[in-house]
């Protein structure tokens, strides 16, 4: 036992064991710590310092409003940023109250402020103030400029408590109705100094009166009857214990159970039975201070009274006093907890008063004091307790159910949790079986429950039976010894290999049988060697994989245990911790944040690469998981919880009691989970410890609002004729002109639980490609944004629960009028009109040109046509002439026959005449004159016949010549009958000249009444000739067929019917087939054979 620490009771160790005993006691109650109330003092923000806050309210948007008596202002607060609205007598659009006493936020979001100077109404949307002040000449005006209480009832009337009574403002008319004290009317107000106005759930209005600073019996509680405008008074009666204890009524409240509380001066905490009108006094009992009461009356100050009564979200009743702190009453256990002054056992509330309080449904209580302090109490606050341990390093280890091992910078401590005894192991200079160093860096238990201790000077193996240590030290002269001094990590793999990380000495593998080490060191010439020699963490992955965290910029290495080769990841990063979750995913905590290994990609990616909304922008120190596989990550900015689905990140920082200053940094790789699920994180002052199941976080989303909007560097206010037509809080769309394309927004997030330097993200969709960072109320600018439709988006995360909130507003920048659709439509119309006009002009020009060219062509064509026509006419004339000559040729025989007859007569008569002349000569010679005269008469007759037949021959010749000549086109009187008869004979004789065997009967039936008619004899004669010739041809063709009894017959008939003359040629030939009847009038059509 000599190697053991010599004595527990030594003077050197007494202080140490006392601290350990205190730690263990704290550990036993730590599970209740998250429920401890914490009074967070609000100092101010963004350059605004708070003075004495007289009143608090919250508007419908969630903003908190404070009336600051010291600064003569009201202040809007979103949890991070404060905006102050001061009284300025030179500016009418500022707060009109120089001593703000009371506040009220109405349902529309307007803020009513009362105090010294009257009443002011502020519209946050438009930024405008409206003032109401006392005017002695206006009976419908405010009764006094000293306004002490404001309330709006369920009917929409605004009630004001003033120094001259109770006023009711009709918002529609702007007129006030006054209710004041009348000594002669017991149904009037009991006192004109109104300090409290309250409306219960039944709609009954209650009025508290009296000034506690004035020591007189005046005051009292009043119930207002709306029907008749009268009051029922409740006053102190020294002979009635069921009356008020004092008449200075400042606090009136109805809780969720229907209890009606009244707070007055003296020991004046009451509940009122509104049916009987009797009060129950809850007086302070010094023998039982835990019972329901107010704190003991402070008789020193002389004005101590109950200032407020309210109920928080946990249904606890808060009672504030002017001179002796605050009581919080729990109706379930009927016990009081006192906060403030010397009697405050919690030590969390330093002041001795409570002036005003406001409780919201989200579990927050706001409280002001006479000491000019403002506090925020978060009933839902998760408080992570810290336990101070001097010299504690980053290593803890449970041993069974009753022992805890702790590594410190002054030895190894084993604590018996059952009896409280402790023993400490240190290095002893003359004892080689003691620890090799008292600076403990790592405690590790292997599969055989052997404890291995890493120190600043080597590795130690603890023998629980002998309580001796076996040392494994670095020997520069022994290559099989430990490769360095400072042990950073110890790890046993599945194959029971014990791996040791040495800071500056690389990775070591211990052969427990021989006590020798195999070294894995950085080799610049070997790319498969370990990345650097500063091993911070060892972790086993898949089969044959060993993950090594390196703190010398080597990142993370994966070692193949079979080959001893290393693959490097996250080069340039300093790795503080490695962790493998239940899914087998490897997590790396580095100075650059948290990284996750993707096996399919064989690489590490930042948590923010997968989801930008859950990135940890801080140095990650350690990683551990709870029983639900939620990851808990300690960092230089606090502790984070990453849920098991890895999509929700919760931050626990200063608000949760986690100190992150430089001197209180959390240690790397210090996360530890006990067997009962309790988590530990060590830091330089001790450790944080908690049960994750005790943390009940709010699931509320943060409210986001746009607070200001600028166009061309000019702040806009609501204007129906401007881009901002209503309050920016309610605006969903902004319509800007093309010359309003330089604009800016400011925005905020209401977050009262995490008052740190909150980051918001914004993006102008369709313009920005990425989200940008901003702080609350930062002015973010956009310049020369092109016309178009955009959506300005903002988002942030609730650090308490990891839930993201988003808000957006549509921004439309209209194009210049000359680029609008209707302008383009006009351009299009003008373009079409221009095109049309140009087309018309071009068409006209081209048409004129075409006309000119056409005219020239027409003239040329006309000349050509004329020439062609002349040639055609000549050709036609030639054809006609040829046809005439052809027909004339066919008639030659007939013509010759017709000429032959008169020539025969001429010849015969001329021969007879010659003979008669000879006879006449003989008779003359004979002297027979009578006979001679008779012969002369015969000669004369013969000459006449010769003349007649000569003329006939002449007519035939002339007719032939006329037929052969071209037509003159001149009509002349013509005997149609004679013309038809002549051509009948000519055609007949012409055919007989070709065929001597042809004979035909010719008949004529001429109408003698026709006479001569004006025709072109050549043309009509040719027609008649063709008809008669065709008739003879048809009969001749039929004759050739030798039909029995057939005799050719052609009949020519003329007939006059009115002004018309009909000429018909009829034959008894074969006729024309029906199928050819439609073609007989086609030019050049014939049924005759070719030739």
| Ranges of residues in the chain whose predicted pLDDT is under 50 | 1-34
Q: What is the pLDDT of residue 276?
A: 96
Q: What is the pLDDT of residue 1090?
A: 59
Q: Which two tokens stand for residue 793?
A: 């988006």
Residues 6+ apart with CB under 8 A from 12: none
Residue 93, φ and ψ in degrees, nearest 5:
-95, 45
**CB crowding 323-359: b at 16 or more within 10 Å, else e:** bbbbbbbeeeeeebebbbbeebeeeebbbbbbbbbbb
Class of domain 386-694 (CATH, top level): mainly beta
Which segments of the chain belong to CATH 2.60.40.10? 703-819
Predicted confidence (pLDDT) per residue in 70-94, tens digit:
999 999 999 999 999 999 999 999 9
Which segments of the chain belong to CATH 2.130.10.10? 39-180, 386-694
Q: Could you identify the residue written with the tokens 């022994």?
A: 478
Q: What is the DSSP string of 1021-1090?
A: HHHHHHHHHHHHHHHHHHHTTT-TT---EEEEEEEEETTEEEEEEEE-S----GGGGGGTTSTT--SSPP
Helix (H, G, I), strand (E, B) or coil at 642: strand
Helical axes 1017-1039 vs 929-964, angle rounded to 10°: 90
Q: Which two tokens stand for residue 93?
A: 């659009």
Domain boundaries 703-819, corresponding CATH code: 2.60.40.10
- 700 contacts 425 by C-beta, under 8 angstroms: no
- 395 contacts 442 by C-beta, under 8 angstroms: yes
For residues 736 and 720, what is the distance between their CA atoms, to the nearest angstrom? 13
DSSP H or E segment with residue 523: none
Instruction: Indicate the fold that domain 887-1079 takes in CATH.
Output: Heat Shock Protein 90 (3.30.565)
- 411 contacts 424 by C-beta, under 8 angstroms: yes
Which segments of the chain belong to CATH 3.30.565.10? 887-1079
For residues 209 and 248, what is the distance between their CA atoms, to the nearest angstrom? 6
Pick from 481, 484, 479: which is nearest to 503 by CA?
A: 484
Domain with residues 39-180, CATH architecture = 7 Propeller (2.130)
- 285 contacts 344 by C-beta, under 8 angstroms: no
For residues 962 and 1017, what is the distance between their CA atoms, to the nearest angstrom? 9
- 447 contacts 483 by C-beta, under 8 angstroms: no
Q: What is the pLDDT of residue 879?
A: 57
For residues 776 and 90, what is the distance between their CA atoms, to the nearest angstrom? 30
């Amino acid at each position: 036992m000599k190697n053991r620490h010599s004595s527990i009771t030594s003077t050197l160790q007494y202080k140490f064991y006392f601290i350990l005993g205190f730690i263990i006691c704290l550990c036993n109650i730590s599970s209740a710590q998250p429920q401890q109330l914490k009074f967070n003092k609000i100092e101010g923000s963004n350059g605004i310092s708070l003075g004495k806050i007289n009143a608090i309210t919250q508007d419908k948007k969630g903003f908190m409003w404070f009336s600051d008596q010291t600064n003569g202002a009201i202040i809007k607060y979103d949890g991070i940023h404060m905006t102050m609205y001061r009284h300025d007598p030179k500016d009418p659009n500022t707060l009109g109250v120089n001593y703000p006493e009371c506040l009220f936020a109405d349902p529309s979001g307007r803020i009513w402020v009362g105090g010294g100077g009257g009443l002011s109404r502020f519209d946050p949307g438009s930024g405008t103030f409206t003032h109401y002040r006392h005017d002695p000449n206006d009976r419908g005006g405010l009764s006094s400029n000293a306004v002490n209480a404001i309330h709006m009832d369920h009917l929409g009337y605004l009630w004001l408590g003033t120094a001259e009574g109770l006023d009711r403002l009709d918002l529609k008319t702007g007129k006030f109705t006054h209710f004041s004290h009348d000594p002669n009317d017991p149904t009037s107000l009991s006192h004109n100094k109104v300090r409290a106005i309250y409306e219960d759930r039944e709609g009954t209005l209650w009025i508290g009166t009296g000034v506690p600073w004035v020591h007189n019996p005046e005051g009292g509680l009043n119930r207002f009857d709306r029907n008749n405008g009268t009051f029922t008074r409740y006053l102190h009666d020294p002979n009635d214990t069921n009356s008020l204890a004092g008449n200075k009524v400042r606090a009136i409240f109805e809780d969720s159970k229907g209890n009606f509380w009244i707070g007055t001066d003296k020991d004046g905490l009451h509940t009122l039975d509104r049916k009987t009108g009797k009060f129950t006094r809850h007086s302070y009992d010094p023998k039982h201070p835990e019972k329901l009461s107010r704190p003991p009356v402070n008789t020193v100050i002389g004005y101590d009274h109950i200032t407020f009564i309210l109920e928080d979200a946990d249904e606890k009743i808060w009672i504030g006093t002017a001179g002796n702190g605050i009581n919080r009453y729990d109706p379930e256990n009927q016990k009081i907890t006192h906060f403030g002054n010397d009697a405050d056992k919690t030590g969390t509330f330093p002041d001795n008063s409570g002036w005003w309080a406001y409780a919201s449904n989200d579990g927050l209580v706001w409280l002001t004091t006479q000491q000019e302090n403002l506090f925020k109490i978060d009933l839902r606050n998760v408080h992570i307790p810290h336990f101070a341990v001097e010299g504690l390093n980053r290593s803890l280890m449970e041993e069974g159910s009753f022992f805890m091992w702790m590594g410190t910078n002054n030895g190894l401590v084993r604590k018996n949790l059952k009896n409280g005894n402790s023993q400490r192991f240190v290095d002893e200079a003359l004892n080689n079986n003691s620890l090799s160093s008292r600076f403990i860096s790592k405690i590790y238990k292997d599969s055989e429950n052997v404890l291995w201790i890493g120190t600043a000077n080597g590795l130690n193996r603890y023998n629980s039976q002998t309580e001796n240590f076996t040392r494994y030290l670095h020997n520069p002269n022994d290559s099989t010894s430990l490769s360095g001094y400072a042990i950073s990590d110890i790890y046993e793999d599945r194959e029971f290999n014990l791996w040791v990380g040495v800071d500056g000495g690389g990775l070591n593998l211990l052969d427990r049988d021989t006590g020798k080490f195999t070294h894995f060191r950085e080799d610049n010439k070997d790319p498969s060697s370990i990345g650097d020699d500063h091993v911070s963490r060892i972790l086993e992955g898949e089969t044959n994989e060993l993950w090594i965290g390196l703190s010398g910029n080597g990142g993370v290495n994966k070692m193949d245990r079979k080959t001893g080769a290393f693959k490097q990841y996250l080069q340039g990063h300093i790795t503080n911790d490695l962790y493998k979750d239940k899914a087998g995913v490897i997590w790396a905590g580095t100075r650059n944040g948290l990284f996750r290994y993707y096996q399919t990609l064989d690489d590490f990616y930042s948590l923010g690469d997968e989801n930008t909304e859950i990135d940890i922008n801080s140095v990650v120190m350690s990683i551990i998981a709870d029983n639900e596989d939620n990851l808990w990550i300690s960092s230089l900015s606090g502790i984070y919880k990453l849920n098991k689905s890895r999509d929700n990140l919760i931050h626990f920082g200063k608000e949760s009691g986690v100190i992150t200053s430089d001197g209180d940094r959390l240690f790397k790789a210090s996360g530890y989970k006990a067997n009962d699920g309790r988590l530990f994180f060590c830091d330089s002052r001790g450790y944080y410890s908690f049960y994750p199941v005790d943390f009940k976080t709010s699931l509320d989303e943060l409210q986001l609002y746009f607070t200001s909007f600028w166009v061309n560097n000019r702040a806009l206010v609501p204007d129906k004729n401007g881009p901002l037509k209503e309050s920016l809080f309610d605006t969903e769309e902004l319509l800007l002109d093309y010359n309003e394309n330089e604009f800016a927004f400011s925005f905020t997030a209401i977050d009262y639980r995490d008052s740190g330097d909150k980051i918001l993200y914004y993006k102008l969709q369709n313009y920005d490609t990425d989200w940008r960072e901003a702080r609350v109320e930062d002015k973010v600018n956009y310049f020369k944004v092109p016309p178009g439709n955009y959506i300005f988006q903002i988002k942030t995360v609730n650090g308490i629960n990891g839930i993201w909130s988003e808000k957006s507003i549509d921004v439309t920048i209209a194009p210049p009028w000359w680029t609008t659709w209707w302008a383009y439509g006009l351009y299009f119309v003008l373009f079409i009109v221009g095109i049309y006009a140009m087309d018309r002009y071009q068409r006209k020009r081209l048409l004129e040109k075409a006309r000119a060219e056409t005219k020239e062509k027409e003239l040329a064509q006309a000349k050509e046509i004329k020439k062609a026509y002349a040639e055609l006419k000549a050709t036609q004339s030639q054809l006609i002439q040829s046809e005439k000559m052809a027909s004339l040729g066919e008639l030659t025989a007939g013509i010759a026959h017709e000429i032959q007859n008169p020539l025969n007569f001429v010849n015969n008569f001329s021969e007879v005449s010659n003979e008669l002349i000879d006879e006449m000569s003989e008779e003359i010679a004979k002297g027979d004159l009578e006979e001679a005269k008779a012969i002369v008469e015969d000669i004369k007759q013969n000459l006449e016949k010769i003349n007649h037949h000569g003329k006939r021959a002449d007519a035939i010749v002339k007719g032939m010549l006329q037929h052969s000549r071209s037509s003159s086109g001149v009509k002349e009187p013509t005997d149609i009958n004679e013309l038809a008869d002549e051509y009948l004979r000519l055609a007949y004789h012409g055919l007989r000249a070709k065929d001597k065997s042809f004979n035909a009967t010719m008949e004529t039936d001429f109408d003698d009444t026709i006479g001569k008619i004006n025709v072109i004899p050549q043309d009509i004669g040719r027609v008649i000739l063709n008809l008669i010739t065709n008739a003879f041809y048809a009969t001749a063709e039929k004759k050739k067929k030798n039909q029995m009894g057939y005799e050719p017959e052609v009949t020519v008939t003329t007939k006059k019917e009115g002004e018309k003359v009909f000429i018909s040629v009829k034959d008894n030939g074969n006729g024309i087939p029906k199928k050819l009847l439609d073609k007989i009038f086609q030019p050049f059509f014939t049924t005759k054979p070719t030739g």
